[in-house]
Structure 1
Amino acid sequence: MQNIIKLALRLSIAVGFLSAVADRLGMWSEQFSSWGTWEAFLDYTALISPWIPESMIPAVGFTATVLEVVFAVFLLIGFKISLFAKLSGCLLLVFALSMSFSTGIKFAFDYSVFTAAAAAFALSTMKTKYLEVDSLITKS
């Protein structure tokens, strides 16, 4: 059963990251979109990061996007799950705290960002390997 839970955590965190990236790149229809465009995503990034200079917002948005894609890919393929789950938890916690301090804690709870961070940290503690590239590397 723990193997299925671990796989579900990996998939849900990874798909959550990839869905958010797809949204900011305009890949979701307007009906299902939170941002819909890169510019709208950068506006939101500026909103939840008022302590970051405006000139740095594009770099912050780009960095967050790259990290989300990289973390998602490694979680999906099962490479260094403990490390990338911890990093994912940290990134999600930064998002949750930024949302909480800038717009209030309600949105961080409504979007389950604290829950996703906790799930990532929980995933990082699961040591058994299941459908992971790491299993193939370890056998070699």
Structure 2
Amino acid sequence: MGAPGSGVNWGDWKHFTGYAHVIMSFLPESVSNFAALIATMAEIIFGVCLILGFKIKANAFGSAVLTLLFAVSMIISEGILAPFKYPVFVFAGAALLLTFTEDPKWSIDSVLKDK
């Protein structure tokens, strides 16, 4: 990842929340700081659940919604081309695609469904 300014927009929590405020410039700073915390917690929960194969469809849908909210925030704050600097729509599309697939047989969901 690297230090702030070395190819990334953040590197620690202070710089991350500063970048979050840039992306959510339409919100007061206290609200954008809270949204950054909630988004980070959601990303961790969605990621761990997807890796474990637990509630795949719900977590994939949540990931897609969160990613699309990020894209919309980027568009509002930085312009229509901003999300195309990163594969934001690819991530959202992949997450949406995952919501329509069958549960892998080695997932927790598959094990729970068989019982």
Q: TM-score, normalising length from structure 2?
A: 0.89
Q: Which runs of 4+ in 1 moved over 6 A?
A: none
Q: Does 1:29 align with 2:2?
A: yes
CA deviation digits over 1:71-106, x for unaligned, max 9?
Answer: 000100001111111111000000011111111232
Match in the other structure for 1:123: 98
Higher relative contact order, chain-length normalized (CA < 8 Å, sep 6+): 1
- Write the mapping of 1:3-82 to structure 2, written as runs, cut at 5 A: 28-30=1-3, 31=6, 33-82=8-57
In the alignment, structure 2 segments of 5+ residues that lack a partner are none
Residue correspondences, number: 113
SS at match of 1:105: coil
Judge conservation of contact 2:56–2:99 (CA < 8 Å) in 1. yes
RMSD: 1.5
**C-alpha distance in structure 2 between counterparts of 1:100 and 1:32, whole Å:** 21
How far the C-alpha of 1:129 sits from its partner, in A, is 2.4
Q: TM-score, normalising length from structure 1?
A: 0.74
Compare the two structures and name the one with the higher helix fraction: 1
Match in the other structure for 2:63: 88
**C-alpha distance in structure 2 between counterparts of 1:32 and 1:49, whole Å:** 21
Percent same amino acid at aligned positions?
A: 35
How far the C-alpha of 1:32 sits from its partner, in A, is 6.0
In the alignment, structure 1 segments of 5+ residues that lack a partner are 1-27
